[in-house]
Amino acid sequence: MRMSFIRNIVKNKVFIIAEIGVNHNGSLTIAKKSIIEAKKSGADAVKFQSFKAEDLAIKSTPKVKYQINKKSNETHYEMLKKLELNKKKFKSIIKFCKTKNIKFISTPYDQNNAKFLLAQGVKTIKIASADLIDFQLHAFLCKKKKIELILSTGMSNLNEINETLKFYKKTTIMDNLFIL
């Protein structure tokens, strides 16, 4: 079954995804304002990131060079914790997107966040390029029916892209797989 995202592409209509990511700074108010502005700007969808800081970094992990603010000794973990949205906030955002008639998309960084998104009725999942070879996540998502996957390849090399495509060619999700 082809879904709206695919139909838009088939109709040669550009499908615009507003990348909100973590630019909400953990604030539900900023997230909702960003959704409103994305809709006003003509976006068809908004894309967030779904993660728990504890699952991405240990508490002492330092920031990478470009993230360092000389006025703060904040760790990478502390930064992620500030950018994290809890499940209650995500539920509110997903509901808000429905009321604004804009598609909600998210990038889960693990199976638990993917499970949560799918349980909320999210139909389009974007895989971060850093997770392109996370075959446990891919295998989990391939078992789901009626979802669309967007694979980001920005940080990947051709071997990783080919390995991932070879994996998906063995699945039934190929018709709903998009590569960026």
Is the per-residue pLDDT at 2 higher than 60?
A: no
User: Which tokens go with 9?
Assistant: 């592409």
Provide the residue type at 71 as one letter.
K
pLDDT tens digits for range 138-152: 888 888 778 888 888
Mean pLDDT over 31-49 rounds to 95
DSSP per-residue string spanning 49-79: EE--HHHH--TTPPPPGGG--TT----HHHH
* Gyration radius of the chain's alpha carbons: 17
Q: So what's the pLDDT on residue 12? A: 64
pLDDT tens digits for range 112-127: 999 999 999 999 999 9
| Cβ atoms within 10 Å of 121's Cβ, excluding its own | 9
Between the CA of residue 73 and those of 25, 26, 57, 63, 84, what are the distances in Å? 18, 19, 16, 9, 19
Q: How far apart are CA 85 and CA 67, in angstroms?
A: 20
Output the CA torsion 17→18→23→28 (10° steps): -90
Mean pLDDT over 156-179 rounds to 83
